[in-house]
Amino acid sequence: MLGFNEPEFLSQLASTVALRHPIEELADRLVDEGFDNLFLVGAGGTYAQMWPYEQLARRISTLPVRAVVAAELAVAGDATLGERSVAVFTSVSGTTEDSLRAVEFCKSKGARTVGFTGYADSPIARSVDVALVSEAKAWPFDPQMLLLMGRLFARRGEFEGYEKLADELADLPRVLLDVARQADAPAAAFAEAHKDTDYHFLVGGGNLWGFTYLYSMCILEEMQWLRTTRVHSAEFFHGSLELLEKDTSVIVFQGEDETRALTDRAEAFAKRVSHDVTVFDTRDYALEGISPRFRGLLAPLVLDTVMGRVSKHLERVRDHSLDLLRSYRVMDY
C-alpha cells in the first residue's frame, strides 16, 4: 500500500492497547480516591478526538464529563474545575503549547492531571501527575481513551462488558490492518476522482462528529490546503445545506451508533442535490473478532484508518505532501 509502513502501524497500535493494565490501575485509583468531574482537554485534533468520550459519558453515565479547548480553558477557566477534578490530556509530541499551559492551569486549581503521549521526556509528560506513554508517533488516542473511560464507567456500574471489550482491543492492530487493506482501493479511486477538487462538504454525527471536524480541519485544510465546510448531521438542515450544488463534493462519515438515522437523512438529501456524494461507512468493514455491541464504539478508529489511506492517495495525486506546512508550527502566533 502506498506510503504504508505495516510494521510501524502494527507496533504503534500495539503500544496503545498494551497500556491496558496501567490505565486500569489509574482508573481504579481515581475511583477509589474519589473525584467529582472529568475534563478531557485537547487542542485541534486532540480536542476533536475527545468528543466521542464526552458523548459516551452523556449516553451512559451520570459522571460530569466535558471536552474542552486547552487554550480557552487556560485563559477563561471553569467554575467546576478544582481539587476534586481530573483532567486528561493527549499529545502525540508532548510539546503542544496550548495543552502545556492548560496542564499548568489545571494543576494550579488543584486538579489531578493525566497525560497520554509518545514521549516520556516531553514537556507534557514531565508536567502531568501521571504520564502514560505509548510508542512515539502512535495515533490516534482512541484505544487509550476507550480503556480509560470504559474502566471508569465499569467501576461506577455504568458499563457492562468492559472486560470483554478490553480483551478484544488487544487484537486491534490486526483488525485495523484488515481495514486499511480493504480501504486502499476505494481510497485511491476517491483521490483520483477528486485530485482537482478544491472544496469538500463533510457530514458526520454521533461519535463521528469529532472525526468529521478533525478530518476537515486537520487534514484537508491544514495538510492539503483545501477549503471545507463541516456540519453535524443533526444540524445539517439548519443552514449549511444551502451551500450544496450539483457538483459539490460531499463526504459523509457514517457510523453505527444511535445517531445513524440522522446521518442517513442528511445523506439522502445531499444526494438529491449533488451528484458527487461519497459515503465512508464503518458497516462496510468486517472487524473480525469485535463483538457487534462494540462496533459502534470503534467507529472513530475505523474511519481514522480508512481516511488515512485517502490522505496518502490525495498526497500523491495532488503532489502535496501531508508534511508541507506554511503556518502551523512554522510561524509565530
Q: What is the pLDDT of residues 245-261, one digit of tens each?
A: 999 999 999 999 999 99
pLDDT in the model for residue 325: 82
pLDDT in the model for residue 234: 97
- Provide the CB-side half-sphere exposure for 118 (13 A, CA): 17
Phi, psi of 283 (to 5 degrees): -65, -15
Identify the band that residue 180 occupies on the pLDDT scale cut at 50, 70 and 90: very high
Cβ neighbours for 62, distance < 8 A, ≥ 6 positions apart: 158
Residue with cell 510501524: 8
Q: Give the pLDDT mean for 81-87.
A: 98
Judged against a pLDDT cut of 90, whether residue 330 lies above it is answered with no
Residue with cell 458526520: 204
Query: How far is the C-alpha of 217 from the C-alpha of 199, rounded, in Å?
Result: 12
pLDDT greater at residue 316 or residue 325: 316
Find residue 38's DSSP bridge partners: 65, 86
Q: What is the DSSP letter of 86?
A: E
Query: How far is the C-alpha of 278 from the C-alpha of 192, rounded, in Å?
Result: 13
Domains of the chain, each with CATH number or no CATH: 6-159 (3.40.50.10490), 172-318 (3.40.50.10490)
Judged against a pLDDT cut of 90, whether residue 287 lies above it is answered with yes
Share of the chain above pLDDT 90, in %: 97
pLDDT tens digits, 120-172: 999 999 999 999 999 999 999 999 999 999 999 999 999 999 999 999 999 99
Query: How far is the C-alpha of 267 from the C-alpha of 279, rounded, in Å?
Result: 8
Q: Grid coordinates in use for 90?
A: 493527549
Query: How far is the C-alpha of 210 from the C-alpha of 30, rounded, in Å?
Result: 26
Q: Give the pLDDT mean for 206-212.
A: 98
Q: Give the pLDDT mean for 219-238.
A: 97
Judged against a pLDDT cut of 80, whether residue 37 lies above it is answered with yes
Identify the band that residue 324 occupies on the pLDDT scale cut at 50, 70 and 90: confident
Three-state SS string across 215-263, please? HHHHHHHCCCCCEEEEEEHHHCCCCHHHHCCCCCEEEEEECCCCCHHHH
pLDDT in the model for residue 293: 96
Cβ neighbours for 167, distance < 8 A, ≥ 6 positions apart: none
3-state SS assignment for residue 189: helix
What is the pTM for the complete model shown?
A: 0.95
Judged against a pLDDT cut of 80, whether residue 216 lies above it is answered with yes
Q: What is the DSSP letter of 118?
A: S
